[in-house]
Amino acid sequence: MSVMPVGTLTRADLAEMLHRQVGLSRTDSGKIVEHILHDMCAALSRGENVKISGFGTFVLRDKGERVGRNPKTGVEVPIAPRRVLTFRASQMMRDRIVGAG
């Protein structure tokens, strides 16, 4: 895979890499990227975790209600329960990132 300059990797970048490396048309490459992202979002909205082997896992967690504190005033305020999305990199990805730095 080609090395991207430091910055943000976009959907268009993914589609362009797919176009160049696999040889699909730009239109088909864009559709594939959109389809994959749509399926990932749909799975997460159903409460499922998404695991990409060798990359990592997108994990949904339910956080309970808790008491927080306003840092300016020190007043305690309740924080409502909510669902959060976290990402856990696979060991392979961690090794690549640490080894690249």
For the whole model, what pTM was predicted? Answer: 0.73
Kindly tell me if the per-residue pLDDT of 66 is higher than 80.
Answer: yes
Domain boundaries, the chain: 11-100
Quote the tokens at residue 95.
Answer: 């090794």
Query: Long-range contacts: 84-89, Cβ < 8 Å, 24+?
Result: 84/60, 85/44, 85/58, 85/59, 85/60, 85/61, 86/58, 86/59, 86/61, 87/56, 87/57, 87/58, 87/59, 88/56, 88/57, 88/59, 89/55, 89/56
Q: Is residue 93 within 8 Å of residue 55, measured between CB atoms?
A: yes
pLDDT digits (tens, 9 = 90+) for 32-65: 999 999 999 999 999 999 999 999 999 999 999 9
The yes/no answer on whether domain 11-100 falls in CATH 3.40.50.1470 is: no
